[in-house]
Amino acid sequence: AQSVTQLDSQVPVFEEAPVELRCNYSSSVSVYLFWYVQYPNQGLQLLLKYLSGSTLVKGINGFEAEFNKSQTSFHLRKPSVHISDTAEYFCAVSSSGSARQLTFGSGTQLTVLP
């Protein structure tokens, strides 16, 4: 079985400051990892994904994440946030041998303050 823990339910940060949203997972097999963003009253949009290869993954809107197998983490980072980055962010994991089932974390609300 796999699980995902997003360690912070809410993260307030000032505009142009850096941010890190934390995600830890557990799985007994190789994994695929994802970050999604959800703006109010919208569906989820894929930010970035790790399938294999380089552990540093770059996504849309200036976000990046680093896969750390030893710490079973996949933290999301952005060096300088904008007001428009205010949204809910979801981390998700899928075992590479699974029937394409994603397990989502509980989400982190990022609020960028002026």
Partner 1 sequence: SQTIHQWPATLVQPVGSPLSLECTVEGTSNPNLYWYRQAAGRGLQLLFYSVGIGQISSEVPQNLSASRPQDRQFILSSKKLLLSDSGFYLCALVGQVNFYGYTFGSGTRLTVV
Q: Which residues bind partner 1 (CB under 8 A)?
A: 32, 34, 36, 41-46, 49, 51, 90, 92, 94, 99-102, 104-107
In angstroms, give the least distance from the CB of 90 to partner 1: 7
- Closer residue to partner 1 (CB): 28 or 99: 99
- Residue type, position 72, single letter: T
- Closer residue to partner 1 (CB): 15 or 66: 66
**Which of 18, 21, 20, 17 shows the shortest CA–CA distance to 6?**
21
Give how far the C-alpha of residue 10 lies from the chain's centroid of Cα atoms, to the nearest Å.
14
In the chain, the DSSP E strands lie at 3-6, 10-14, 19-21, 23-26, 31-38, 44-50, 56-58, 64-68, 73-78, 87-95, 103-104, 108-113
- Closer residue to partner 1 (CB): 15 or 102: 102
In angstroms, give the least distance from the CB of 92 to partner 1: 7
In angstroms, give the least distance from the CB of 72 to partner 1: 19
- Closer residue to partner 1 (CB): 107 or 110: 107
